[in-house]
Structure 1
Amino acid sequence: MTKATVGQTEVIVQEGKCLNGEVVASSFGFTLYLKAPDKSGQCQNNITTYKWVKEGGKYYDVTDPQKKEELAFVFSDNNTKLSYSTPSDNGLVTIYLTKVR
């Protein structure tokens, strides 16, 4: 992860700080590993796994088959960069990742 935005606030990932993330993806899903401060400022590790399908060039979260939702993914630079957005209590959260392998 290179940076994250929450609402209008942008934070750049820095070595040793409590903000880092990565995505491990396969053809049937992905896992998001995210380290970020909680509301009280304490560093928290979160691991979230999603099942997905790709239809018509878009990815959909099918973790709950009764609730299929489009994932807000934007790929760029020949699929080496990814941004992912999701709503939160503090506004829209967007994380920016760069492919390392």
Structure 2
Amino acid sequence: MKQIMLVCAAGMSTSLLVSKMQKAAKEQKIEADIFAISESEVDQILRSKNVDVLLLGPQVRYLKGAYDVKYKDKKIPIEVINMADYGMMNGANVLKQAITLIG
């Protein structure tokens, strides 16, 4: 089971994207727990849950550098979601990005 965490400003703008990613995962028979949270919840979630990849919504791309440093010891891939895929709510492409980062 892959743990895919999406982070956005309030945790709500990515909820539609999460639904589309879950649909794509089901169609591709990929077992994944895909969820979205607000930036204020990241520390708490990473303390209590093992996450395989952390994807940032384009609106919080400025957090990437700080997260790369702060969570370096966790060895979690951290990347910004492609802006076009985010804007088009292309769940299949964002899922592909996450799976590629997990390796």
What TM-score do the two structures reach when normalised by structure 1?
0.29
Larger strand fraction of residues = 1
Structure with bigger helix share is 2
Higher relative contact order (CA 8 A, sep 6+): 2
